[in-house]
Amino acid sequence: MRAVVTRVSSASVSIGGTVEGAIKQGFLVLLGVGPGDTEAVCDKLAEKICNLRVFEDENGRMNLSLEQVGGALLVVSQFTLYADTSSRRPGFTGAARPDLAVPLYERFMEQCRRRGFQVEHGTFGADMQVASVNDGPVTILFDTDKNGAGRA
């Protein structure tokens, strides 16, 4: 799985001019699923993101977690994180097909909810407009194939 996690002071996703999900302080998570991803990888990634300590403490150090600041998550499906950019026209055959991607996308959000977080989202496969006010900016890239985020 791949995720781009941005610390935000607010974020929203709209479809056809209608806001589908919105949060105040928290994480905007652009989430991509690969063909080899599993429930175990998904669960581990959710755990890592939910416990990420990138919010500033009283000393201005990135030391606080999402829970400690009362933050929420806006999760947006993003198959383009698996783009093959070897040519000028990206290919997306490296992304999981919807029959695998949708259940893992839903599972990721459920794992975050089980940890007590408000989780907002868009609609898988829809043409969405995402707005965010990046805080910092702080943006972290997770790739379970490269950085071990999904390994037990």
Q: State the catalytic residues.
A: 78-80
**Tokens 């600041």 found at:** 69
Strand partners, 6: 28, 139
Instruction: With H, G, I as helix, E, B as strand and everything else as coil, classify residue 130.
Output: strand
**Residues 6+ away with beta carbon under 8 Å from 78:** 2, 4, 30, 31, 32
Q: Token pair for residue 83? A: 């783009």
Q: Token pair for residue 5? A: 């996690």
Write out the H or E segment, with its range, that includes residue 98.
helix 98-114
